Every structure is written in C-alpha cells, then in structure tokens.
Structure 1
Amino acid sequence: MSSERAAVSALFLLNGLLVGGWSPRIPALMERLGIAESRAGLLVLCLGLGSITVMPLFGAMTARAGSRSAVWLAAWLTAPSLLWISLAPGFWSVAAAVFLFGGTMGGMDVAMNANAVAVERSRARAIMSSCHGFWSLGGVIGAGLGGIVLELAGELGQGLAVTAVFAAGLVWAGPRLLRDPPAPDQPRAPLRLPRSPLPFLLGIVALASMIPEGAILDWAAVYLQKEMGAPLSVAGWGFAGCAATMAVLRFAGDGLRNRFGAVRTMRISALTAMSGLAVAGFAPSAGVAIAGFALAGIGIANLMPIALSAAGNLPGMAAGVGLSVVTMMGYSGILLAPAAIGWLAESFSLGAIYLGLALLLLVPLAMSRLAAAADFGSDTAP
C-alpha cells in the first residue's frame, strides 16, 4: 500500500472512530439531560444541520485549494468534538456542540473523499470502497468499545480517549497525504451549484442509501436498550455489528466492483440491505436484531462508496464540486432523517420504522444505472 493510500485510509479510520464514539452517547445523553426520543431527535437534527451547512464550503475549498489542505483543516477542527459535547452542561449547549461536531465532521468527510478520488486517479485503480472499509472499522472500534468506556469512565473519559487517539493518528497521516492540485478552473470561479442533473440524481441514490445507515447509527442502541431490554454495554453493538460487516464488504468492495461492475454490485447490495433491515425489524431479541443490523451492513457497505466514485468521476466537473453535492445530499440522509425518526419513535416502534426503511432501498435499486460512472473512474486513467 502506498503512503498516500495509507494516509487517506487512516483518515477514514479516524473519522469512523469519532462517529462510532458518538453512537452510544445518545442514550447516555438522554439519561444525563432527562430527555425523550423527540428531544434526542433534535440533537441528531443539529448534527445534520451542522454538516450540510459546512459541507459545501469545504467542497469549494477542495476545488480551489486541493483536498489535502481542506482535509487537514477540517480534521484538526473535528478532533476535540466529543470533548465539547461532554463538557456542555445543558440541552442547548449540548445542541450547539453537536452542531459544531456535525459541521467539522461533514467538512472532513467531503475533503477526505475528494482525496480518495485523487488517489484513485493517480493509481488508476479503485480504492473508495476499501477507504470506507476503514471508516467502518473505525466505527466498530468507536461504537463497540465506546459503550464499555462510557460505563467505566463516563462521557468525559470516553471523549478524552477518542480525542487522544484521533490526534495521534492525524500527526502520522497528515504529512503523508497526497498533495493534489486545485481544479484548473476553480480558483477564481464563483461558488455555484453544477448545472448538470447527474450529481443531483446520484445524490438521491446516496440519500436513500444513507438514511438506513443513519437510523442504525443513531437509534440502534436506543432500540436495543429500550425495546429489547439490553444493557448499554450491549446496545452499542447494534451499530458495531453493522459497521463490522460493512468493513469486511468494503475491503472486498473494490474487487467486487471491478469484477461485477458498479451497477450489478449496487443492485445486489440494495437487496441484501433490505433483507437485513427486515430481520432487525421483526427481531424477537437483541441478539437477532444485532444479526439483522449486521446483515444490513453487508448490503449498505458499498452503496455510498459507489455513488461517491461516480460523482467524483463525472465528465467535465471538478471532483470536489460533484462530491460536495452527493456528499451533502447523502449525508443529509444519515444526519437529518434520524432526527425525524426520533419524533416517529414516540408514535411507532423502532422495529416498525426499520421495516419501513427497507422499502426505501427500492430507490437505489431502481436508479442503479447511474452508478456506471464509477466503473469509468475505476478502470480508466485520468
């Protein structure tokens, strides 16, 4: 593995570690702040609003200055995020800290995906799925161990541990990142949305693909704890189980995509994810629900990486511009839709909601032909 590929993979791992560390905090925050699902949903909404507010700014910065500069800035701004959430004393201060967390994390997400596209182009080989595999591996560590550390050391202890690991990883990865040049027509170009409909159509695919992942990230622990009676140390494994299988399939995803093509891979993935969500929704126990989330992770794994590779290789468009549109739309699914789930959960069971989300994956299944651009990016040198 080249140093540039290892460095961008490390960024995905660190980002996933931070997001995974957030997942088991939601039931802990509900207990500390004395709030129900609807107010917890508002916190999740703040996370999403922060991300979609900042993502376009870092998309523009990526196009104008290169992804290396953008991701370096965003990553260091993201590093202490869980500490600010831990130190915030009340609901609205926590909401503000979560908003900042979402903003810096979203900016890092756009920039590191653009850097992965740049490495793909320099190597003329697909690496996006494996990069997201490292993100999922980080999610497994952050979510699986996060609940245990929360019980042993509390929110502040967990925040300190995650921040220390994150900062150490950045010190190693930063100097090794690929230094990609800015897009040639971008430094003086005004900030505007692309005229082509393709990134927006891919954004719809990404949106439908990411909503189920967001529902597992933010609500699996609540589902297992409140509806299944699992302890907090077990509840964190709802998302961890999903992230674990996502990691395995994402590490295999580049090879699968190169062998079977992005379109066929997306179709099979969508059908598998639908099956896993159905198992989780009908589950009679926490163990079966975790198994369902793990099966869903197999399917979810390569939906977003394929959409991102397609967006980063659209003809006549700077990678940062197409990626910012698809990332913003896709991550509004993982960040904004779970807020609505918080309100729905007071009227419907989370199990019923997971069943409904299985049907949403008919969208990427029906629009899978749009993924063909990812095959061009994978197999053709720039």
Structure 2
Amino acid sequence: MSEQVLRGGRAGVARARSAVTAVFFVTGAGLGVWAAYIPLLKAGLALNDAELGLVLLGMGVGAIASMPLAGFLAHRFGPTRITAVAAPIYAVALALPPFAPSQPLLAGCAFLIGLSIGVCDIAMNAHAGAVERAYGRPIMSSIHAFFSIGGLVGGAGAAGLIALGVGAAAGMPLAALLLAGVAGVAAFGLALPEPEAFGEGPAFRLPNAAVVGLGALALCSFICEGAMMEWSAVFLRDAAGAPLAAAASGYAAFSATMTLGRLFGDRILERLGAALTVGISGAIAAFALLVVVVAPNAWIAYGGLALAGLGFANVVPALFSAAGRVPGVAPAAALSMIATVGYAGGLAGPPAIGFVAHAFGLRVAFLILVAAAAIVALGARSALSPPAGPRRG
C-alpha cells in the first residue's frame, strides 16, 4: 500500500476493501438466485414467454431509472452510507417475487429489485473507487471478480435448493435472509479511516468529453456482455450445432474465464495501465468473437466464447475506476452517467441481436458484437489516457 494508506490507516482501508468486496458478492449472488428461480416463478403464474419478457424488462428499467438518482445520493451523502443502506434493501427485495399473485405484481417486484440494485451498483462502485484511490494502485478488477463469484455461488446454491424440492416461496426468502445478513455485517466495515472526498463539481451535469468517451466504451462492452448472457447458448445450439448440454454451458464458460481474468486483472492494470489493458482486452475480445462467428464447429465456437470472457474481464472495472478520476466531475456523478449508458446497452443489445438474427441469421448478428469489441480496442487510448487514466501508487 502507498504512504497515503499508511497515513489513513492500513487496517481500516483493508477492512473497507473486504467489506465492499462482500457487497459485490451479495449483489452477484442475488442475481444468481433470481436467475435460478425464474423458471419456477414463470411456472407458478403460468406465464408465457412474452409475459416473462415484460417481467425481466421491469428489472432492467428499474435499474436504469435509479442510477442517476443513485449518483446524486452517493455524491450528497457519500457512497459508504448509500452502500450500507442499499445492499440490505436489495437483498430483502429478493424475497418478494414468490408472493406476487399476478404477472403485473411480479413485474413490480422485479422493478423494485432493479431499483435497489441500480442504487447499490452505483454506490458500491463509487465506494470501491474511493478504496482504490486510498490504496494508490488498481484493485477494482479483483473486487468485481467477487460479483461474478457471487453469481456462480448464488445460482449453484439456488439450484441445489431446487433439487432438494425447496420452492421459490421458501428458497428465495431464505437466500434473501442470508444475503441481507452478509450485507448487514459488511456495512459495519465499509467506512474508510479518513472521510471520502466526494469530488468536485455538481451531482447533476451534462457529460463532458471524457465521460462521453468512457460511456461509449461501457455501452459497447455491456452490449457484448448482455448478448453473451442471452444468446451464447442459442448460438452454440442453432448456429454451431452443439449438443444441448454443451450449448447450455456456453455462458458458464464465458463467465468462468471472465472471473479468472478479473482475479488477475489488478496486476495487469498496474503493470500496463488502463489504456493499454483495455485496448488489448478489446482486441482479444474482437478476435475471440470473430472466431465464434466463423467457427466451423461447436467446439471452436465454445473456445471463442471462453476467450471472449478473458477479453472482456477487465474492461468494465477499468472504466468504472477511471470514472472516479474524470477532472471536474464528481466521481459518483460520472459513474452514474457511464453506468446508465452501459446498462442501457446491456438491456438493448440482446433484442437488437434478435432482430438482426431474424433477418440475416445469428452469425451475421454476432458481427455486431465483433464491431463493438473493436470499438473498445480502438477507443481505449483516447478514452483512458491521462488525466482520466490510472494513477500509480
């Protein structure tokens, strides 16, 4: 750690890092639980695919709608306080969906989860940025890795409960209770030993050129990540001819390599800097997705998806970290603008792939993702060069 950390208290900063890492885990685990129980929620209300789609859309709309407000709240009251409040609320909200008696009320529950996760996402990333600045070296990637690990643990744990016959009405409240407990304990360790600098500038403002550049890269990255979640299994099955079991594990491969890349990402970012790391990452992702598009068989496509996970692993952590260093813009305000644009891309990307695939086929549609990754590679230097680039401790 840097001398800044020594002045602020090494143990206190390390405790804050552990606490915010736990919040990232809780957030990812909650989404894993939600995803695992979606089929049971659908069956319980006898929803068709279109009705379920509106439920899922409700969560995305809630998250995007809350992010600008989250930026204001984090700027006004500090990300520590907002994270400490938002994380337990998000966990508790996960208990509500099984008790919704109709599709509109289930969509309302999903909207509430989206609202809470949107606030939590901005606040916890702003807090993680403050912890990173206290450390004086990159730590954002390893913190983000625990979001992915949480998703794997939450999904696997919920799947285990379902296999034991534990339905949504018992399983989701149980998971909510456990995650709320973890979030509550973490809240006591979030505070940094010195007050956080909330940053200069108003909480609401028009984005400057630096924010626009970072937002454009976030948009491209989230478009690709959203498409991987929704379309990787379909691509492997319908375009590459993979067996059903192998196709279903395509996104798992993407997620696993992304998690691995983030665990080692801090060292890479410290050695290469954000601009070069993101540029190389985008190039790897573009190449990997091109391999997927032209793959002559399912196994090569599967390998391309895994390589794409490595490529995208450290893009978003680097962008969110850079948001806290945009000159003249409050860190939470910059982060909320960049995250809102990014998550909008994650929401819009999968439907866009569907429309293009319907007209021209999945392989042509996936060329959109190749282009998006290439934009990340080509735009990294201008978007992440100093003064928005990394500072070394």
**Same fold per TM (> 0.5)?**
yes
TM-score, length-scaled by structure 2: 0.83
Residue 251 of structure 1 is matched in structure 2 by: 263
What do the CA deviations read for 1:269-298 (whole angstroms, capped 9, x no partner)? 112223443455567887766544332211
Matching residue within 159, 164, 169 for 2:182: 169
Contact 1:144 1:240 in 2 (8 A): no
Range with bigger deviation, 237-246 or 64-73: 237-246
Matched, 1:362 2:377: no
User: 1:195 and 1:133, CA in 2 relative to 1: closer, same or farther beyond 3 A?
Assistant: closer
Aligned-partner Cα distance in 1 for 2:30–2:248? 14
Residue 275 of structure 2 is matched in structure 1 by: 263
SS of alignment partner, residue 79 of structure 1? helix
Aligned-partner Cα distance in 2 for 1:214–1:162? 25
What do the CA deviations read for 1:227-270 (whole angstroms, capped 9, x no partner)? 85636xx7774433322211211121111011112122112211
User: Cα distance, 1:101 vs. partner?
Assistant: 1.3
What do the CA deviations read for 1:336-359 (whole angstroms, capped 9, x no partner)? 433555666766766654453222
Contact 2:130 2:196 in 1 (8 A): no
User: 1:296 and 1:164, CA in 2 relative to 1: closer, same or farther beyond 3 A?
Assistant: farther
SS of alignment partner, residue 54 of structure 1? helix
Matched, 1:118 2:127: no
Residue 215 of structure 2 is matched in structure 1 by: 203
User: 1:338 and 1:150, CA in 2 relative to 1: closer, same or farther beyond 3 A?
Assistant: farther
Matched, 1:64 2:76: yes
What do the CA deviations read for 1:103-130 (whole angstroms, capped 9, x no partner)? 1111101000000111111121211111
Residue 3 of structure 2 is matched in structure 1 by: none
Matching residue within 157, 168, 180 for 1:155: 168
What do the CA deviations read for 1:16-39 (whole angstroms, capped 9, x no partner)? 112233344555555554423x55
* Unaligned ranges ≥5, structure 1: none
> Residue type matched to 2:64 in 1?
I
User: 1:263 and 1:237, CA in 2 relative to 1: closer, same or farther beyond 3 A?
Assistant: same
Q: Superposition pairs for residues 98-247 of structure 1, below 5 Å?
A: 98-152=110-164, 153-179=166-192, 180-181=195-196, 183=198, 191-220=203-232, 230=244, 237-247=249-259
What do the CA deviations read for 1:46-79 (whole angstroms, capped 9, x no partner)? 2221111101111111111110111112112211
User: 1:334 and 1:308, CA in 2 relative to 1: closer, same or farther beyond 3 A?
Assistant: same
User: Cα distance, 1:377 vs. partner?
Assistant: 3.9
Aligned-partner Cα distance in 2 for 1:347–1:207? 24
What do the CA deviations read for 1:286-325 (whole angstroms, capped 9, x no partner)? 7766544332211111111111111111122211111111
SS of alignment partner, residue 244 of structure 2? coil
User: Cα distance, 1:148 vs. partner?
Assistant: 4.6
Aligned-partner Cα distance in 1 for 2:335–2:91? 23
Residue 337 of structure 1 is matched in structure 2 by: 349
CA RMSD of aligned residues (A): 3.1
Aligned-partner Cα distance in 1 for 2:28–2:190? 18
Aligned-partner Cα distance in 1 for 2:189–2:258? 26
User: 1:47 and 1:148, CA in 2 relative to 1: closer, same or farther beyond 3 A?
Assistant: same
* Unaligned ranges ≥5, structure 2: 1-10
Contact 2:204 2:333 in 1 (8 A): no
SS of alignment partner, residue 77 of structure 1? helix
Residue 303 of structure 1 is matched in structure 2 by: 315
> Residue type matched to 2:181 in 1?
A
Identity %: 34
SS of alignment partner, residue 327 of structure 2? coil
Aligned-partner Cα distance in 1 for 2:227–2:40? 17
Aligned-partner Cα distance in 2 for 1:225–1:155? 29
How many residues are paired up? 374
Larger Rg, first or second structure (1 or 2): 2
User: Cα distance, 1:221 vs. partner?
Assistant: 5.8
Contact 1:59 1:324 in 2 (8 A): yes
Contact 1:258 1:378 in 2 (8 A): no
SS of alignment partner, residue 193 of structure 1? coil
